[in-house]
Amino acid sequence: MAASGTVVAVCCSPGNGFSKPGVHEIRLVEGLGVEGDAHSGRTVQHLYLRNKDAAAPNLRQVHLMHAELFTELAGGGFTLEPGDLGENITTCGIDLLSLPVGAVLEIGEARIELTGRRTPCVQIENFQKGLLKALIAKDGAGQPVFKAGVMGVVRASGLVRKDDEIDVQMPVKPHKPLLAI
């Protein structure tokens, strides 16, 4: 099964701030992440996770968010733009949250393998009151379902720009759901 979508925006920041400004293009570097971004590296770069285990592999090299989430949240009174929640790539037309571990997003020459869902943190609440709760749904068993986008690692280098097409390649079954990382 293959699906397709489009890149709405690309964002990058060399600092460890919360939001990332939009840029014309980003370069994905195999095994590292987004060139020039604070979260690029072979080992974990997220400050909280790095303090727990600085030698852990970086499974959060690229953060992707679906633009459809912005529309959903607008219904609850929240205003979000690409990059506001720290994502590198904002997509449209792909249900990112339903993809399994190991799904590969092909964007031009670049390829990103999905590793997990972003765990929403208190910084989201500091950004807009009530937003953290809005990004955590409950499944049928009452377990939390995080909606703050997905994370991945770069498997092939390449440039990514707004309006680039995204092709999704599914891994071999059985599929495993993306879990919070």
Query: In 43-130, where does DSSP find H-type helix?
Result: 47-52, 68-74, 122-127
Q: State residue 1's pLDDT score.
A: 45
Determine the pLDDT at residue 46. Answer: 86
Q: Which residue, 169, 78, 159, 163, is CA-closest to 120?
A: 78
Rounded CA gap, 98 and 165, in Å? 19
Q: How far apart are the first and last CA of the chain?
A: 25
> Following DSSP, what letter does each residue of 29-60 receive, concatenated?
ETTTEETT-TT-SSB--SHHHHHH-TTSB-S-
CA distance 119 to 149: 9
Q: Are 39 and 13 in contact (CB under 8 A)?
A: no
pLDDT at res. 2: 61
pLDDT at position 48 is: 83
pLDDT of residue 47: 82
- Sheet bearing 33-34, strands edge to edge: 33-34, 25-29, 158-161
Q: Cα(81)–Cα(19) distance, rounded to whole angstroms?
A: 10
- pLDDT at 3 (0 to 100): 76
In this prediction, residue 143 carries a pLDDT of 92
- Alpha carbon 14 to its chain centroid, in Å, reads 17
Fold held by 2-169: M1 Pyruvate Kinase; Domain 3 (2.40.33)
Q: Is the Cβ–Cβ distance between 60 and 44 less than 8 Å?
A: yes
One pLDDT digit (tens) per residue for the chain, 181 residues: 467 999 999 999 999 889 999 999 999 999 999 999 999 999 999 888 888 999 999 999 999 999 999 999 999 999 999 999 999 999 999 999 999 999 999 999 999 999 999 999 899 999 999 999 999 999 999 999 999 999 999 999 999 999 999 999 999 999 999 999 9
Domain ranges of the chain: 2-169
Quote the pLDDT of residue 110: 98
